[in-house]
Amino acid sequence: MIAQPIPPVVIPEVEARIEVDGSSRPVIVLYWGTSLIWLTIASIAGLISSIKLHSPEFLGGMEWLTFGRIRAVHWDTAIYGFGGLAASGTLLWLQARLCQVRLPYRNLLLVGGVVFNIGLVLGTAGVLMGQSTGVETLEFPLWAMPLLVVPYVFIVIANFTMYFKKVTKHTYVSQWYLMAVTVWFPILVLSAEACTNLGAVDGVAQAIANWWYGHNVVGLFATPTGIAAAYYLIPKVIGKPIHSYHLSLLGFWSNAIFYNWAGTHHLTGGPLPAWTITLGVVGSLMMFIPVITIGINHHMTMLGSFHLLKTSPTLRFAVMGSMIYTLSSFQGSLEALRSHQEVTHFTHYTIGHVHFGMYGFFAPLMFAMMYYGMPRLMDQEWSSARLIRIHFWCTVVGMLIYVTAMCYAGIRQGLMMNDPSIPFLNIVRFTIPYLALRTLGGLILLTGTIAFLINFVRIITPHKYTWKTPTMLDTERDWKKLVELEKQSENGGTK
């Protein structure tokens, strides 16, 4: 069971892959590692915001920690810190592997990763000090944005370079999505900043630009990366091809065309021309097409291989992600309907939905990528199966508590708000137990993240001993055993 790292097997194709992985190691480890630190920071910020809502006196009196600031920090660090870095690491690693070329511009990408992190720190500090721009999802002060945008340009260049140098003749489905992300994300950020914070458009057109961006940063950045990961991991782990090539084609283009237009449903009932909202509702409903086709492709590929969920950590997170992609997208499309929005628009329901998508779909797929990629990058196995199990179950249970509490409370809250005979403060009082339940859910999610972080730190530090075979979920592997062995060998060495 326990042995020193096995020497690489000499098969030309595998050797080439080892070389490709080796070339990308420092960059990917930097991106994924720091993404987990930002996930922890985002979770703590989220937890503080959550506690403040049922106990407003918690950490009161400190202006920099007031709800409106820490709440903005929560979302920005989650989407740019965790999302941005985890997705960029995934993008670079997958593209290098699928093109079978060494990762280009490694030093540039390393510097970019460091600069991106500095940008995140400064942006967060800016918001905490009260320099938020006031545009949701683009709160970071303008002066911090170049530090996020320039490194991303490096990633775009590296991505295209790999794509044009690729050795493989075939283009994989995942590569379409990765290509799409690199085209979309810079355009999204630059045009949204231009329209809102730089004032290219006025008044309520800013609000549309804001929500065009706010919805698309999830839909055209997080979602395609998540789908690319699922398209790569599910067939790879179970060793079967994707169910239907043609469906994946339909899924990709319908997703690309319709998701773009969905953002204005965030402004239903607002002071805007009705046709802009209608476009958003239509776009959201048309999303059934890509969601169903992508769903069929992922779930039909899995059919007959569900027993592997017992053992493979990668597959478990990937399948969780792809299943919740289907569910949360159905929820989202229905939510866009005007009759639905009349009740749930300004309530906790929306927050529940966001977390269902981000923590039920996107985050598990990024975790799956890391569970699959890290042993290959580091030439070491995950040291503890127990910590992986803790991470998985905390993610599932914490997310379900969070989402159920918020969605249920949101519907009740919305129905009560539409009944003017119920005083507003009674509605606030009604939501408090559910807000407390959310804190519990958030606490469980944070526990899972910390378990993952411990495992991650163990896998990136060089060890004398490692497991010889991949760490499966149904084993009792624990890193303490490895530590004991190391100590024994140290004592033995002195004898």
Positions 381 through 420 that interact with other proteins (CB under 8 A):
417-420
Q: Which of 165, 310, 429, 468 binds other proteins (CB under 8 A)?
A: 429
Give the interface size with other proteins as a residue count (CB under 8 A): 83
User: Cα–Cα distance between 323 and 315 in angstroms, integer?
Assistant: 12
342 near other proteins (CB under 8 A): yes
Single out the residue of 94, 114, 112 nearest to residue 24, CA to CA.
94
Strand-pairing partners, residue 16, are none
225 near other proteins (CB under 8 A): no
249 near other proteins (CB under 8 A): no
Strand-pairing partners, residue 467, are 2
329 near other proteins (CB under 8 A): no
Helix (H, G, I), strand (E, B) or coil at 18: helix
Closer residue to other proteins in complex, CB, 349/465: 349
Radius of gyration of the chain (CA): 23
In the complex, minimum distance from the CB of residue 326 to other proteins, in angstroms, rounded to a whole number: 22
472 near other proteins (CB under 8 A): no
Helix (H, G, I), strand (E, B) or coil at 212: helix
Q: Which of residues 23-82 bind other proteins (CB under 8 A)?
A: 52-54, 56-57, 60-61, 63, 66-69, 71-72
Closer residue to other proteins in complex, CB, 80/221: 221
Q: Which of 146, 269, 304, 462 binds other proteins (CB under 8 A)?
A: 269
Q: Which of 180, 233, 320, 336 binds other proteins (CB under 8 A)?
A: 180
Handedness of CA 168, 174, 177, 178 (dihedral sign): negative
Q: Which region, judged by CB under 8 A, interacts with other proteins, from 22-30, 194-202, 382-390, 483-491? A: 194-202
202 near other proteins (CB under 8 A): yes
433 near other proteins (CB under 8 A): no
CB 402 within 8 A of CB 352: yes
Handedness of CA 32, 34, 40, 42 (dihedral sign): negative
265 near other proteins (CB under 8 A): no
Q: Tell me the two tokens of residue 145.
A: 């944005």
12 near other proteins (CB under 8 A): no
Closer residue to other proteins in complex, CB, 8/134: 134
Q: Which of 115, 183, 250, 400 binds other proteins (CB under 8 A)?
A: 183
Closer residue to other proteins in complex, CB, 316/345: 345
| Amino acid in the structure at residue 336 | A
Single out the residue of 9, 166, 152, 173 nearest to residue 89, CA to CA.
152
Closer residue to other proteins in complex, CB, 168/418: 418
Three-point CA angle 335, 341, 344, nearest 5°: 85
Contacts of 68 (CB under 8 A, 6+ apart): none
Closer residue to other proteins in complex, CB, 226/364: 226
Q: Is 59 left (phi over 0), alpha (psi -120 to 50) or beta?
A: left
358 near other proteins (CB under 8 A): no
143 near other proteins (CB under 8 A): no
